[in-house]
Amino acid sequence: MNVSVVGTGYVGLVSAVCLAEKGHQVICVDVDEAKVDQINQGISPIYEDGLDSLLEKNVGVRVLATTDLRRAVLDSDLSLIAVGTPFDGNEIDLKYVRIVSEQVGLILKEKSSYHVVVMKSTVVPGTTEEVMVPILEKASGKLVGRDFGVGMNPEFLREGEAIQDFLYPDRIVLGGVDKRSVDALAALYEGFPGVDLIRTNTKTAEMIKYSSNSLLATLISFSNEIGNLCAKVGVDVVDAMHGVHLDRRLSPILATGERVYPSSLTYLAAGCGFGGSCFPKDVKALIAYGKQVGSPMELLQAVIDINSAQPQRMLDLVKEQYPNLDGVKVAVLGMAFKPGTDDIRESPSLPVTDILVSEGALVSAFDPIARHEAEGRFGSAVRFSDDLEGAIEGADAILVMTRWKQFERLPELVAGMAKAPLVVDGRRMLAKDSVPRYRGIGLAPDASLSVIDR
C-alpha cells in the first residue's frame, strides 16, 4: 500500500520505517525541513534503538521524506496523522491536528480516488469524528463515508523500545467511521499475523488509548504510594511489590512454565515518578475531558498528585543528611525520563535539578544519551560530564534518576572514592548493600534485609 505519514516525530518516524519494513511504500511529511533532510540522508533525528539501521535500510527504497504534503497525499491511499497533541493546562491542544486536517481536506478536493485519513495521534474520545471529520468535509467539499474514509489507530509504542513495540504489538486497534475505513486499516496491518486486531469505532479506539495509559500510570502511582508507606514502617517496597507481582494475574505464566515478565516489576516499580511525553499529558487530558463531560476522574487526579510529589522525595532523602544544600556537591545521574531515549520531556530529573540549583547545590550531571537536550535546558547552571566518573568525582551525594544500565557499575566506582558519597536510588536499581551510604525510594533507613530470594 502507498502510505503517507504526516508528522515525523517519535510515532510518525517509527511507524513509517516499520511499515516500510513490512513492505509498504511510505512518504513521510514534516514541516521541519531539517528533519526531512536528515531522514532522506538515512539519519534519524531522534535517538531510538534500532531506528537508524532500519531507516538506512529503507530510505530511498521504501521511505521518502518531504515537506510537500500535497504530493504525499495525492501519491498515497492512506494518510496517518501523527502530529503532536500537547496538553495546554485545560485540554489537549489540537492546533496541529486542525491545521493538518484542513490541509489534507483541501488536497482531497482535487483527488478523485478514495483516500483514508487516519488519526494516529493520541486524542480524547470524540476528537476524530467531532473535530477532524468536519474540517476534512468542509475543506474538501466531500462527504466522509461516501467520498473518503476516516480511521483512528492509536499507537502503544514505548520510547526506547519503539521499534520492537511497533513490530511486535500486543494488539492493534483499528477504529473507523465505517467498514471500508476499518478494512483499509486492516490491509495496512496485514503483515502482523497472530496479533489481536480490534475492529471498532473511532471513539472506542480513542478511549482504549487513554484507558491504557491511565491504567499504567495508576499502577506506578499505586506502587509509589505503597513505597512511601513502606519507607515509614520499615519495609522495602521492592520486596513488597515483588511479592505482589508474582501473582499470575500480573505476570502470567506461559504454557512453557515461564513467567511472561520474570524479572522486572512491570509498571509496579516504585521510583522517583513517571515522566515522558505521554503519561503526564494523557492522564491530565483525560481528567480534563472527564470534567468537561461531567464525570470527575478522582482516582486519576490522585495518580497525578502522587506523581508530582515523588521528585521531592528524592530531595527529602538528601536533606535528611544535608539539610542545607548550599555548596553541597550533588551528582544527578540520568536526565532522560527513562533509559533508551534522549527524551527529557517531563523527566523527574528536571524539577529535582531545578530545586538543587535554586538551593545552591553544586550540581554535576551525566546522561549517556540525553546530554545535549539537558544542556539546552539547564545551560551553565549544571556541569555536564562526558562520563559517569567525571560526574560523581568529589560528590557528597549522588542521585540515580534514570534506570540506565551504565549506572549499574556505580558501586564499583563509589568503592574507589576517597569519601563515600550518599547514594539516593530513585529507581531502586542498585543492591542496597552495594554502597556504604545507600538510601532509596520506598526504603526505610533501618529496613530489614530481604528474605525473598530474588
Ligand X SMILES: O=c1ccn([C@@H]2O[C@H](COP(=O)(O)OP(=O)(O)O[C@H]3O[C@H](CO)[C@@H](O)[C@H](O)[C@H]3O)[C@@H](O)[C@H]2O)c(=O)[nH]1
Ligand Y SMILES: NC(=O)c1ccc[n+]([C@@H]2O[C@H](COP(=O)([O-])OP(=O)(O)OC[C@H]3O[C@@H](n4cnc5c(N)ncnc54)[C@H](O)[C@@H]3O)[C@@H](O)[C@H]2O)c1
Interface residues with ligand Y (CB under 6 A) are 6-12, 29-32, 35, 82-85, 96, 99-100, 121-122, 155, 157, 159, 277-278
> 190-193 contacts: CB < 8 A, separation 24 or more?
191/22, 191/23, 192/22
Query: 80: closest CA among 179, 185, 166, 161?
Result: 185
Q: Which of the listed partners (ligand Y, ligand X, none) does 107 bind, with a CB threshold of 5 to 8 Å by partner kind?
A: none
3-class secondary-structure state, position 115: coil
345 annotated ligand binder: yes
Q: CA angle 35-37-41, nearest 5°? A: 115
Query: 276: closest CA among 227, 226, 340, 222?
Result: 340
Catalytic residue among 28, 230, 272, 278: 278
What is the distance between the alpha carbons of residues 206 and 212, in angstroms, rounded to a whole number? Answer: 10
What is the distance between the alpha carbons of residues 149 and 184, in angstroms, rounded to a whole number? Answer: 9
What is the distance between the alpha carbons of residues 345 and 373, in angstroms, rounded to a whole number? Answer: 10
Q: Are 272 and 314 in contact (CB under 8 A)?
A: yes
Q: Which of the listed partners (ligand Y, ligand X, none) does 220 bind, with a CB threshold of 5 to 8 Å by partner kind?
A: ligand X
| Neighbouring-strand partners of residue 332 | 365, 399
What is the distance between the alpha carbons of residues 394 and 330, in angstroms, rounded to a whole number? Answer: 9
Residue with cell string 503483515 = 191
Looking at residue 129, its amino acid is E
Q: How far is the CB of 37 from ligand Y (least distance, A)?
A: 13
180 annotated ligand binder: no
Q: How far is the CB of 71 from ligand X (least distance, A)?
A: 30
Q: How far is the CB of 212 from ligand X (least distance, A)?
A: 6
Q: How far is the CB of 398 from ligand Y (least distance, A)?
A: 29
158 annotated ligand binder: yes
| Neighbouring-strand partners of residue 325 | none
Query: How many alpha carbons fall within 13 Å on the CB side of residue 255?
Result: 0
Structure letter (DSSP) for residue 119: E
Supply φ then ψ for residue 283, to 5 degrees: -65, -40
Q: Which of the listed partners (ligand Y, ligand X, none) does 267 bind, with a CB threshold of 5 to 8 Å by partner kind?
A: ligand X
Q: 189 or 267, CB closer to ligand X? A: 267
Supply φ then ψ for residue 112, to 5 degrees: -90, -30
Q: Which of the listed partners (ligand Y, ligand X, none) does 96 bind, with a CB threshold of 5 to 8 Å by partner kind?
A: ligand Y
Q: CA angle 192-195-197, nearest 5°? A: 100
Concerning whether 278 is annotated as a catalytic residue, the answer is yes
Q: Which of the listed partners (ligand Y, ligand X, none) does 222 bind, with a CB threshold of 5 to 8 Å by partner kind?
A: none
Q: Is 33 left (phi over 0), alpha (psi -120 to 50) or beta?
A: alpha
157 annotated ligand binder: yes
Residue nearest to ligand X (CB): 278
What are the C-alpha distances in Å from 419 to residues 395, 426, 436?
A: 9, 21, 10
| Neighbouring-strand partners of residue 66 | 29
267 annotated ligand binder: yes
102 annotated ligand binder: no
Q: Which of the listed partners (ligand X, ligand Y, none) does 407 bind, with a CB threshold of 5 to 8 Å by partner kind?
A: none
Q: How far is the CB of 337 from ligand X (least distance, A)?
A: 4
Q: 85 or 224, CB closer to ligand Y? A: 85
Q: How far is the CB of 24 from ligand Y (least distance, A)?
A: 19
427 annotated ligand binder: no
Q: Which of the listed partners (ligand Y, ligand X, none) does 391 bind, with a CB threshold of 5 to 8 Å by partner kind?
A: none
C-alpha cell at 321: 543528611
Q: How far is the CB of 294 from ligand X (least distance, A)?
A: 26
Sorted by sequence, the CB contacts under 8 Å of residue 49 that are 6+ apart come out as: 160, 161, 162, 163, 340
Q: Are 65 and 8 in contact (CB under 8 A)?
A: yes
Q: Which of the listed partners (ligand X, ligand Y, none) does 240 bind, with a CB threshold of 5 to 8 Å by partner kind?
A: none
8 annotated ligand binder: no
C-alpha cell at 309: 510529589
Q: How far is the CB of 103 from ligand Y (least distance, A)?
A: 7
Residues that bind ligand X (CB under 6 A): 122, 155-159, 213, 216, 220, 265, 267-269, 271, 274-276, 278-279, 282, 337-338
> Residues annotated as binding site?
30, 35, 85, 122, 156-159, 209, 267-271, 275, 281, 338, 345
Q: Which residues are annotated as a binding site for substrate?
A: 156-159, 209, 267-271, 275, 338
Catalytic residues: 278
